[in-house]
Amino acid sequence: MVEDWAYEKLKEDIGEKRYIHSLGVMNTSMELAKIYKVDEEKAKIAGLFHDCAKFREKRNLLKMAAEFDIILDNVMENNVELIHGPLGAEVAKHIYNIYDEEILSAIRYHTTGKENMSILDKIVFIADYIEPNRKFEGVEEVRWLAYRDLDKSLIKAMDNTIVFVVKSGGLIHLDTIKARNYLKIREDLE
C-alpha cells in the first residue's frame, strides 16, 4: 500500500508533468493487471514509481548511480535517459521503502525491457508506452494490442522504439534487442 507522504514526495522529486504521467502509468498498469491476472497492488506501485528517479535535476544521475553501486554499461553511460530505470529500483527501495523484487524488477526494466520478462515487467513497460497522455504516431495500434495480446504489443512497441532511436542517431540498449528477440522467438514457436 502506498502511503500518502509518498505521493507528495514523488510529485516534488519528479515534477507535476512527470507525476501526471506516472499516475497514467499506474492506472494503465492496474487495468492491464486485471486483464492478465497479475497482482493489481503490485502493478499500481510499480506503475506509480516507475519514473521515481527521473529527477528534474539530471546532473546527479551518474553520481547517484555510483553511490548505489549500479554498474553502467557503455550505452547507459552515454545515454543518461536510460539510467533512471536501474536507479529507480534503488530509489524505490531506499527512499520509498519498496522491497518487493517483482516491483523493483518492473521499475528497473521499464525502459529497456529484458529477456524473459515477467508479466508485471511487461505490463509496466507497455503501460509506460501507452498511458492515456501519450500521443505519437503508432501509439493507438500498440494501445489496442496491449489489451488483447501483451507480447504482440511489446514487440510492436519495441520495433517502433528501435526505428525511432536509429532514425534519431541514438544508441539502442542490448537489453531491448534481447527482449524483442526473445519475444519474437516465442511468437514464432506458437
Grid cell, residue 111, equals 525502459
Q: How far is CA 163 from the centre of its chain?
A: 19
From CA 86, how far away is CA 105, in angstroms rounded? 9
Q: Give yes or no for a contact between 166 and 172, defined as CB atoms under 8 angstroms apart.
A: yes
What is d(CA 177, CA 21) in angstroms, rounded to the nearest whole number? Answer: 26
Where do the domains of the chain lie? 4-189
Residue 145 has pLDDT above 90, yes or no: yes
| Closest to 177 in 3D by CA, of 167, 163, 188 | 163
Q: In what helix (H) or strand (E) does residue 13 lie, and over which residues does it extend? A: helix 4-14
pLDDT in tens, 88-127: 999 999 999 999 999 999 999 999 999 999 999 999 999 9
Cα 123–Cα 128–Cα 133 angle in degrees, nearest 5: 130
Task: Please give the CATH topology (third level) of the domain spanning 4-189.
Answer: Hypothetical protein af1432 (1.10.3210)
Say if pTM beats, i.e. exceeds, 0.85. yes
pLDDT higher for 182 or 3? 182
